[in-house]
Amino acid sequence: MALATGALCGSGAAGTATPVCWMPPQAAPASSPAGAVSQGSPVAQEARATWDSGQRSAALAQMEEQLAQHPDDLDTRRQVALWQLLLHRPTAALLTTDAQPEPLADLRGRALYALGRYEEALPWLDPTDQGLALARLDALEVLGRDQELADLLTVVESRLGADHAHLLSLRGRLQMRQGHHAEAVPLFERALARDPLDLAACFGLGQSLVRTGQREAGLAQLARHRQLVPLVDALDFAQRGVDLAPQHAPSLAQLSDAERALGLIERAREHAQQAFDLAGPDELVAVTLRLARLQEEDLGAPDLALATLDAGQARQADVRLLVRAGDVLLRAGRPREALKRFETALAQRPEDDALRQRCEAARAAESPP
Amino acid sequence: MTAATTVAAAGATRRVESTARTRSRRRYLAALLMLAVACSPDSEGPAAEQAVTRPGAATATSTGTKNGAASGSASVPASAPGRSDAEAGQPHVAPAGGWFDDVTAASGLLFRHDAGVSPERQLPETMGAGAALADLDDDGDVDAYLVQSGPLPAPAPGAHPDAARPTNRLFLNELPGVHTPDPAAGPRFSDATEASGAAAHDGYGMGVVVGDVDGDGSLDLYLTNYGPDALLLNDGTARFRDATRSSGLDDARWTGGAALFDADVDGDLDLFVAAYVDLDLAHPAWCGRREEGWRSYCHPDAYPGLQDRFWRNLGAAHFRDATDEAGLVTQEGQHGKGLGVLPTDVDGDLDLDLYVANDSTENRLWINVGGRFEDGTLLSGTGVNGRGETEAGMGLAAGDVDGDGDDEIFVTNFDDESNTLYRNDGEGLFTDITALSGLDAASRLPVGFGTVLSDLDADGDLDIAVTNGHIIDNIALYDDGKTHAQHALLYANDGQGRFADVSQRSGDLAAPAEVGRGLYDADLDDDGDLDLLLTTCNGPARVLANRGGPEGSGGGSVRLLGLPRACRVSATLDDGRQLVRSAGPQPSYFGQTADEVFLGLGGRPGAPRHRIERLDVQLLDGTRLAFVPARPLDGGRWRWRSEAGEVELQNPADGETMPATRTPPDPDRTDKR
């Protein structure tokens, strides 16, 4: 079964069905030497099931144990190294590939790249592999080897298409470094058209506009970049949390928040729903409130929000959910129902002045002047 | 249209392209905060035990080689590209024993920083503290003042001193025959703290800046603390009194980097203090896994930033908070988390602008316009790196890296971020040339702190040294491949602004792994080359003697002392080249390098030693002074002397003088330098 690689894939060229990922998708089990553990073995299958359930570290530990018992099994070694990389453990992945570096060249290159050992990574980053080529381009840029970068960029563009956001951004920065700011402007514009969250392109466009005498437009672009940076930072941070623990409700909720802040409402809804479905008793209220807010405010669906709040209340009775439901009803023009919720909440918190005020507001809305 | 609606309107369905270069400095925070909420069995387990070496070097257990490819750090090219003079192609040769020797024990500068590490894992414990190199007793050599921290909380100012609590320390340089150096002797320090009065300060120290704030000719100290800062006035003999209250200075927040500089060109030193974050010691948050040994330090993202402050010197060490009138106010919610402060004239208009390195938020460049500051960050491009990413800036240095007469800015950053070199393109514009300069790759893994941008091999161009060390003492549990103690980095400039990593030849500088914080340079043993003082967090300070000087394999030098701060010096060499330097100390991290202008003349084996035929100095008020020596200079120290409007440079060793020819300032003060 294919491993979800969402967070590790780059935007593909227009019309490309398969996104270009710098991490390889989990391959189907390969044939293994007799006596070795194959990926189709019960152990491997059990580990995969553990991984898919979200218990990624436990799954990795299972496979590491198998590898220790069967050090010659290439398939197991590959799986271990891949999962180590996906769990952001590049040093461990590098060590895992030590015993069989050539057949695991792609993972070795990725590990070295992740460790920032770009010079060492280059020999292992096969430029004919689409994902590795992107990493190779990045490494060349970091190493300041612009001529090689330019040569490879031309080759990769011919494969992936010249409309690939990451490549456009790279090409734009290359032009800037060569002082060709006017040429850089359209490249960054195209990159942003493909990926409005490409911070490098956003910044590059602003700088290029300034350098070509379009100062006001450049400053406006840079101001937009300045607004975006903390939002994209938050998204990146939240995604990492989910990478490590994809079944962890608070992490999913945080990812949803970050996506919402960037206007990625459908993705935000998806992750907020997942968080709601997975939330434990201690997490449910906060997660429910988030999802309900998104449904009401961003999707314009108060009935959906109400259903969520009621479902949350059924799982974990909490006065905050009652209050929020009342607020939603009041805003939706259903004051009588809102009042019922508020009064129920007030019965639990008779000293709460804010609740009293809500009751009064609901009564006032029910009896127009 | 906000950024969010712009994105939504574009109908983006962005898939996060999380290449490894996406800021993985967030990695440990993701782990820590997530695990703080719920210790899930799904959470990442302990990282495998790994021996981590310096970036690029082969590990003990994994060589990373393929088909014979090099596995070590980038080697110095046999023929450095771009050199146009006789030294083109000359490799940077270090003495057999390495470029720097650790002479701490022999020097007598014995100091150990106490971070006050506690079970509560309070963030101030990670910062380390700074130091300053300056002639505090005015005897012609460079002394050292080291800042101490100690247990938290620190005692209130004026409280009865706790004899058991460690204090800041003053070490006076006692060079034998200060004007007749004995290179073999090395620097000699004596601990003069007991006699230094208020310099034996017992706050929870962060940093120190040095300058004559009361105009009496002696160098005073401003101390930044977690807690009340302090102004200590020098009586001229390295005895200090606490003048904080009478000065009008009043800042009890968490401050770090600071700068004394003449913002309004009125002849006295104003003060800018960077404030860090608002943190409540009494209610420490738990960050990290809730298991024995796993509690860790919270990321500064968990705390709000604070407003930096600008204090205008009204004369005689009296200050007024002029943050608002100077235009240096940032909006609530947009305060930076200031660590480094660098006054430097970025636009060549004869006033000092301010660059502030912020932790995890964009850095700021404040452009000085007649004593009032405007935010030039956006236009300059120096708030973020060349890919538009914010970085966690710590240490700062400025200097003319590419030899075009203006100063570049160098910032040290966190792990998974490179240090960043911004090339000054003029007109307030900068370009991130880190990768082009060869400074990117090796600096990504370590956490950079103190840095110097100095001519460490005395060959006429500026080299770079960085001390590194993580802030999380148990980082290895959380982040595969990271360590708390890290190695320093040393880069040699090829003369064209491209750097080679020569850390493996740096001798005792980069040999040990340590939790490095401050790094400051000065000619501590008066042998004509720049030595280093290095401070560590919760560890010993180190004194590193440069063996690349005239008696080693390095070049000769001319040193200029006592120049007015921020004046611009241009030395014309016998081959027609010009070396351009700004006078004044550099901040590094939480401190100051020595206030001297160092002009390397070359002269390594096989390379000619150049001579200075002329010195031109431009002051902040536009006055130009020209010094033409009787014979070209090939070495020596020269001290600035000004009396009754007459200026000269004097060699203290033999009394020789160089009078200045003065050109008054142009009435139009907007002329560029």
Tens digit of each residue's pLDDT (9 = 90 or more) over B623-650: 999 999 999 999 999 999 999 889 999 9
Q: Higher-confidence residue: B35 or A287?
A: A287
Q: What is the pLDDT of residue B554?
A: 60
User: How far apart are the C-alpha atoms of B557 and B528, rounded to whole Å?
Assistant: 6
Beta bridge partners of B230: B223
Structure confidence by residue, pLDDT tens digits, B369-419:
999 999 999 999 999 999 999 999 999 999 999 999 999 999 999 988 999
3-state secondary structure B445-472: CCCEEEEEEECCCCCCCCEEEEEEECCC
Give percent above pLDDT 90 in chain B.
Answer: 66
| Strand partners for B233 | B241
> Residue B156 phi/psi, 5° resolution?
-70, 150
**Nearest CB to B21 within list A138, A240, A250:** A138
DSSP class of residue A165? H
CB contact under 8 A, A143 and B440: yes
What pLDDT sits at residue B201? 96
Residues A335 and A346: their CA atoms lie apart, in Å, by 16
Mean pLDDT of B33-61: 28
So what's the pLDDT on residue B445? Answer: 87
What's the confidence (pLDDT) of residue B214? 96
* CB within 8 Å: B20 and A135: yes
- Token code pair at residue B322: 């002029």
Give B229's pLDDT tier (boundaries 50, 70, 90). very high
User: At residue B26, does pLDDT exceed 80?
Assistant: no
User: Whole-angstrom Cα distance, residue B607 to residue B408?
Assistant: 27
Q: In this predicted model, what pLDDT tens digit does every residue of A346-356 receive, in sequence order?
A: 999 999 999 99
Query: Closest-CA residue in chain A for B22?
Result: A236
Is the CB of residue B577 less than 8 Å from the CB of residue B85? yes
Beta bridge partners of B258: B273
Higher local confidence (pLDDT), A78 or B300:
A78
Structure tokens at B246: 């009478």
CB contacts, 8 Å: B29 with chain A = 237
Residues 352-391 of chain B whose Cβ lies under 8 A from any Cβ of chain A: 361-362, 378-379, 381, 383-384, 386-390
Residue from the list A141, A206, A240 with its beta carbon closest to the beta carbon of B435: A141
Packing angle between helix A56-69 and helix A74-86, nearest 10 degrees?
A: 150
Nearest CA in chain A to B60: A95
Rounded mean pLDDT of B546-572? 81
Q: What is the dihedral of CA B341, B448, B565, B213, to 10 degrees?
A: 50
Of B5, B15, B29, the CB nearest to A19: B15
> DSSP labels for A268-288?
HHHHHHHHHHH--TTTHHHHH
Work out the pLDDT band at A57, boundaries 50, 70, 90. Answer: confident
Q: Give the one of A89, A117, A197 whose C-beta lies nearest to B480's C-beta.
A: A89
User: Does the pLDDT at position A34 exceed 80?
Assistant: no
pLDDT-derived band of residue A40, with 50, 70 and 90 as boundaries?
confident
The confidence band for B550, taking pLDDT boundaries of 50, 70 and 90, is: very low
Side-chain-side CA neighbours of residue B94 (13 Å):
22
CB contact under 8 Å between A92 and B480, yes or no, is yes
Determine the pLDDT at residue B667: 74
- For residues B96-121, average pLDDT: 92
Least confident of A83-97, A124-138, B10-24, B396-410: B10-24
Comparing alpha-carbon positions, the chain A residue that sits nearest to B25 is A237
According to DSSP, the residues that pair with B241 across neighbouring strands are: B233
Model pTM? 0.85
Tell me phi and psi for residue A249, to 5 degrees: -60, -50
CA proximity to B463, closest of B428, B430, B488: B488
pLDDT tens readout for residues B310-336 = 999 999 999 999 999 999 999 888 899
How do beta strands B556-561 and B636-643 pair?
parallel
Judge whether B189 and B171 are in contact, CB under 8 Å: yes
Asked if the model's pLDDT at residue B50 lies above 80, the reply is: no
- Placement of tokens 């020098």 in the chain: B234
With 60 as the cut, is the pLDDT of residue B549 above it? no
| Cis before B153? omega within 30 | yes
More confident residue, B397 or B186: B397
- At residue B63, does pLDDT exceed 70? no
Does the beta-carbon distance from B38 to A282 stay under 8 Å?
A: yes
Residue whose C-alpha is closest to residue B472's, from B226, B276, B298, B254: B298
Return the beta strands (E) in B511-555 as ranges.
516-522, 531-536, 542-546
Measured in degrees and rounded to the nearest 5, phi and psi for residue B523 equal: -85, 85
In angstroms, the CA B194 to CA B202 distance is: 13
Out of B17, B42, B437, name the one closest to residue A11 (CB): B17
Instruction: Note every long-range contact of B631-635, with CB atoms under 8 Å and residues 24 or more positions apart, other chains counting.
Output: B632/B574, B633/B558, B634/B556, B634/B558, B634/B601, B634/B609, B634/B610, B635/B528, B635/B550, B635/B556, B635/B557, B635/B558, B635/B601
**Mean pLDDT, residues B33-43 taken together:** 34
DSSP SS3 for B598: strand
Over 80: is that where the pLDDT of A66 sits?
yes
Residue A236 parent element (H or E): helix A215-244
Tell me if residue B25 falls in helix, strand or coil.
Answer: helix
Largest CA distance in chain B: 78
If one counts every other C-beta atom within 10 angstroms of the C-beta of residue A216, the result is 9
Name the one residue in this structure whose structure tokens are 């919760």: B538
Instruction: Give tens-digit pLDDT for B109-133.
Output: 999 999 999 999 999 999 999 999 9
Distance in angstroms (rounded) separating the CA atoms of residues A295 and A301 = 5
Q: Do B69 and A239 touch (CB under 8 A)?
A: no
What value does the mean pLDDT take over residues A232-236?
A: 88
The pLDDT value recorded for residue A53 is 85
Mutation for A interface: B39, B43, B62, B380, most A CBs within 10 A: B62
Residue B177 pLDDT: 52
Q: What is the DSSP letter of B112?
A: B
**Percent of chain B surpassing pLDDT 70:** 82
Give the angle B79-B80-B83 at the CA atoms, nearest 5°: 110
pLDDT: which is higher, A26 or B299: B299
3-state secondary structure of B493: strand
Angle, helices A56-69/A42-52, rounded to nearest 10 degrees? 160
The overall average pLDDT reported for chain B is 83
Going from the C-alpha of B17 to that of each of A1, A10, A247, B361, B418, the distances in angstroms are 22, 5, 21, 21, 20
Phi first, then psi: give them for residue A219, nearest 5 degrees. Answer: -65, -40
Looking at beta carbons, which residues of chain A come within 8 Å of B8? 262-265
Q: Given an 8 Å threshold on Cβ–Cβ distance, is A195 in contact with B14?
A: yes
Is the predicted pLDDT of residue B15 greater than 70, yes or no? no
**Could you write out the DSSP letters of every residue in A32-67?**
--TTSPPTTSHHHHHHHHHHHTT-HHHHHHHHHHHH
Asked whether the predicted pLDDT for residue A321 surpasses 80, the reply is yes
CB contact under 8 A, B388 and A204: yes
Token pair of B432 as six digits? 């991130």
Q: How far A322 CA lies from chain B's nearest CA (Å)?
A: 25
- Cβ <8 Å between B45 and A94: no
CA distance A25 to A131: 10
Rounded to an integer, what is the distance from CA A92 to the centroid of its chain?
A: 23
Cβ contact, residue pair B16, A7, below 8 Å? yes
Looking at per-residue pLDDT, the higher value among B664 and B362 belongs to B362
Residue B179 has pLDDT above 90, yes or no: no
Nearest CA to B595 out of B319, B261, B242 is that of B261
Q: Nearest by CB to B480, which of A88, A229, A248?
A: A88
The verdict on ipTM greater than 0.90 is: no
**B194: pLDDT strictly greater than 90:** yes
At B95, is the pLDDT very low, low, confident or very high (cuts 50, 70, 90)?
low
Which residue of chain B is at minimal alpha-carbon distance from A254? B34
The total number of residues written for chain A in this structure:
369
Task: Give the pLDDT confidence score for residue A205 in this predicted structure.
Answer: 98
CA–centroid distance for B387 within its chain: 24
List, in order, residues 6 or more apart from B202 with CB less than 8 Å away.
B148, B150, B154, B155, B161, B162, B165, B166, B167, B168
- B420-426 β-sheet, strand order: B396-399, B408-411, B420-426, B429-432
Q: What distance in Å separates the CA atoms of residue A197 and residue B14, rounded to the nearest whole number?
A: 7
Hey, what long-range contacts does B4-10 have (CB within 8 A, 24 or more apart)? B4/A231, B4/A261, B4/A262, B4/A263, B5/A263, B6/A196, B6/A224, B6/A263, B7/A196, B7/A197, B7/A262, B7/A263, B7/A264, B8/A262, B8/A263, B8/A264, B8/A265, B9/A263, B10/A193, B10/A196
Q: What is the DSSP letter of A4?
A: P
Average pLDDT score over chain A:
88
Residue A134 contacts B where some CB pair is shorter than 8 Å: yes
- In a mutagenesis test of the B interface, which of A138, A226, A255, A297 is the best target, namely the one with the most B β-carbons within 10 Å? A226
Q: Name the A residues in 265-294 with CB < 8 Å from any B CB.
A: 265-267, 280, 282-283
Task: Establish, for the pair of chains A and B, how many residue pairs have beta carbons separated by less than 8 Å.
Answer: 251
Query: pLDDT tens, A133-152?
Result: 999 999 999 999 999 999 99
Beta bridge partners of B343: B354
DSSP label at A242?
Answer: H
Cross-chain CB nearest to B29 (options A110, A224, A237): A237
